Amino acid sequence: MSETSRACPIGIFVSVIDGPWATLIVRELLSGPKRFGDLRTALPGISPKTLTARLNRFTSLGLATRTAYPEIPPRVVYELTDRGRGLRPVLDAMAHWAEANLPIPDEVSEHSAGSVEKMLPMSR
């Protein structure tokens, strides 16, 4: 990242919420706490390595918490912190922009756009 990017709030944001998976993980966690397997199911195509890396990054930055319960089998739950839930208006704005400016194919709109609308009630 260049010096200019480091000083720019948008550059900093992009370095944290990097790539499509990060945004989609936040979208899933906005609906409430999730186990690793729940996130994998909700995000077909994400590799366990990528999901683990993004979740670790979110927890290290204080955007999410990781709670391990002393049960057999082990249960680990991820949940957004207040700081992480603060991303809701950002995803809301992204969804509004996409709906207004991008063609959404039927098969994509049923899964992705519908999920965004259900999970991120649009503020008016």
CATH of the domain at 16: 1.10.10.10
- Domain assignment present for residue 124? The answer is no
The residue segments making up the domain with residue 39 are 9-103
Q: What is the DSSP string of 66-104?
A: EEEE--SS-EEEEEE-HHHHTTHHHHHHHHHHHHHHS--
How many domains does the chain contain in total? 1
Residue 105, pLDDT above cutoff 90: no
pLDDT in tens, 79-101: 999 999 999 999 999 999 988 88
13 is a domain residue? yes
Look at residue 27 and tell me if it is in a domain: yes
The owner of tokens 């919420």 is 17
pTM for this entry? 0.77
- Indicate if the pLDDT at residue 117 is higher than 60: no
Does residue 114 sit within a domain?
no
Tell me how far CA of residue 121 lies from CA of 7, 60, 64, 107, in angstroms.
32, 28, 21, 21
Residue 29 lies in a domain: yes
The pairing of beta strand 34-35 with beta strand 64-69: unpaired
CB atoms within 10 A of CB 120: 21
Structure tokens at 48: 């366990």
Q: What is the dihedral of CA 106, 108, 114, 115, to 10 degrees?
A: 170
